[in-house]
Amino acid sequence: MITAMTSNREKKRIVQAGVRRVMATTGWNPASFETTDDQSAVGRARDRIRNETAAALYAGTDECVDCARARAKSGDETALCERHMKEALGLD
C-alpha cells in the first residue's frame, strides 16, 4: 500500500513492480496479444458471407447479354455490365 509518506521515486518503483507482475500473468501482456478464436470465427463468417454474395451475384450474370459483351470486350472473365456492377457495389 502506498502511503502519504512514500516518496515519488518509491511510488514509481512500486507501480512498476506491479505492472511487471501483471504483465507476467498469462494473457495480460498486450505485447504478445494474439487473435482469439472468437475473432477469427468472425473473420471466417465475414469471408463466407462475402464469398456467397459474390457467387450469387455472378450466378445471375451468366445469362446477361450485356455482361457477356463486357467480358468479350475486356477479356476479363469477371467483367460485369454497368447494371450488375452497380448492384455489386450496392449502388442500385
Let me know if residue 69 belongs to a domain: yes
Q: Looking at the 3D structure of the chain, how many domains does it have?
A: 1
Let me know if residue 2 belongs to a domain: no
Quote the pTM value: 0.46
Let me know if residue 16 belongs to a domain: no
Let me know if residue 30 belongs to a domain: no
According to the model, what pLDDT value does residue 69 have?
93
Mean pLDDT split into 10-residue runs, the chain, 92 residues: 73 88 75 60 84 85 89 90 85 74
According to the model, what pLDDT value does residue 73 have?
92
Q: How far apart are CA 31 and CA 13, in angstroms?
A: 21
DSSP state string for 56-68: HHHHTTTT-HHHH
Contact 52, 71 (CB under 8 A): no
Let me know if residue 19 belongs to a domain: no
**Domain containing 78: what range?**
63-92
